[in-house]
Amino acid sequence: MEDNQKRIDWFKIAIDLHREYRGKIQVLPKVPFLKLKDGAIWYTPGVAGPCRVIHEKGKDLSFEYTLRWNYIAVVSDGTRVLGLGNIGPEAGLPVMEGKALLFKYLGGVDAIPLVLDARDPERFITIVKALEPSFGGINLEDIESPKCFYLLDKLREILDIPVWHDDQQGTALVTLAGLLNALKLVGKKLRDVKITMIGAGAAGVAIVRYLRVAGADPKKIIVVDSKGILHPGRKDLMELKKTNPWKYKLAMTTNGEGRTGGIPEAMRDADVVIAASKPGPGVIKKEWVKTMADDPIVFAMANPIPEIWPWEAKEAGARVVATGRSDFPNQVNNSLGFPAVFRGALTVMARKITDGMCIAAAQALARYAERKGLSEDYILPTMEETEAYIEEAVAIAEKAIEEGVARRKLGRNELEREVRELIYMPRRFMEFAVREGIIELKPGYPR
């Protein structure tokens, strides 16, 4: 193998550079502080003015007088970190910090990583609730299933700021956007197709939920977990009802024909298979793809290796194939979702991120790609298409206003102007900072 074809050791590069930079984000001032007397404005005695305003006229004014309007926490207990599993909060911190970096660079959102030594769900909820006055939103990250479902549902209920779990909602949003466009290419409608969902963890449960909200027929959806197809006759159903009511609900409301068996049985005659399960290859076999309906769609989203290699799926007859990887066409990546979702929600100071807002974001992503020109290798924008984030964020904000969960109401032109400015600002700063040596390209940084 030629030297320039050798696989890059990203693990080693990342280890070396994380130690060299000692973190990926920092806090910088955004107001002028040029002389000591400026402290009279930004600290004492002047700061007492906005404090009094917030105290006397209402706590929601904290969104207007502080960083809270654009400030979120990326919160994790470290119980399900990437593909590493339950490695704990300290070991999970690099991921949360990286997420904060993406929030800023892709969405113009100020985010701080907060890893909690709180595996008990009630303690976790108590801590996050206590943090609410400091933040405009909460992004839950890398939390084990089924606890993640309970935490999201409960925190959405009791907090008056947006709460989002990217492993659930983010994956579901981007998957739905890609599927809407894939269906356009094969000339099928979401309400008509048979869908097989392989994996019933955080992503799988949320994907099915969003498919239903978007118009899919739950009776035409078959869900497969590690024990086989979910159906009302499963022997572990009563146990599921106690330990995982979210999966129990899927067993009771999907699979109208009562199909049993495993992945091969679930894929037979399916128009679409979506897999968010375990790394492959071989989780999905070519011969199973051949049993699907005409012009099948295969989303194999496990990382680092998809459940089936894209070329194998294509050889077996798949018309459109998507994975979670950037080195194959049609990457289903959460980073297409969460920065714009929070950008839109924070811009209008939303109290919630509703299912309707998420569907609007998925539709905006799909429309953007369709306008650019759909093909079997292009059903979703890439992370380099900045305008896609702007359209998605505006769609989120407009839906929040329409649904009555926005504290701030803006017209479309003003929304778009503000969102565009906020999204492009970190990119301009990064170019300036690297050019001027404020952020140094240290030895070992890939160029």
Amino acid identity, position 167: D
As a whole number of angstroms, the distance between CA 290 and CA 272 comes to 12
Which residues belong to the active site?
43, 99
As a whole number of angstroms, the distance between CA 410 and CA 433 comes to 32
> Rounded to an integer, what is the distance from CA 218 to the centroid of its chain?
23
Q: Per the omega criterion (within 30 degrees of 0), is the bond before 281 cis?
A: yes
Cβ-in-10-Å burial (0-12, 13-18, 19+) of 302 comes to buried
343 C-beta neighbours (distance < 10 Å), count: 26
Phi, then psi, of 197 in degrees rounded to 5: -110, 115
Please write down the HEC assignment for all residues of 14-77: HHHHHHHHCCCCCCCCCCCCCCHHHHHHHCCCCCHHHHHHHHHHCHHHHHHHCHHHHEEEEEEC
- DSSP single-letter state for residue 330: S
Residue with tokens 């701030």: 408
Cβ-in-10-Å burial (0-12, 13-18, 19+) of 436 comes to exposed
Q: Which two tokens stand for residue 12?
A: 């080693």
Cα–Cα distances in angstroms (integers) from residue 351 to residues 170, 173, 342, 354, in the given order: 18, 19, 11, 9
For residue 169, what are the contacts with CB-CB under 8 A and spacing of at least 6?
Answer: 206, 210, 337, 341, 353, 358
Phi, then psi, of 439 in degrees rounded to 5: -110, 115
For residue 233, what are the contacts with CB-CB under 8 A and spacing of at least 6?
Answer: 258, 260
Q: Which two tokens stand for residue 271?
A: 């128009």
As a whole number of angstroms, the distance between CA 162 and CA 141 comes to 14
The residues with which 196 forms a beta bridge, in sequence order, are 222, 273
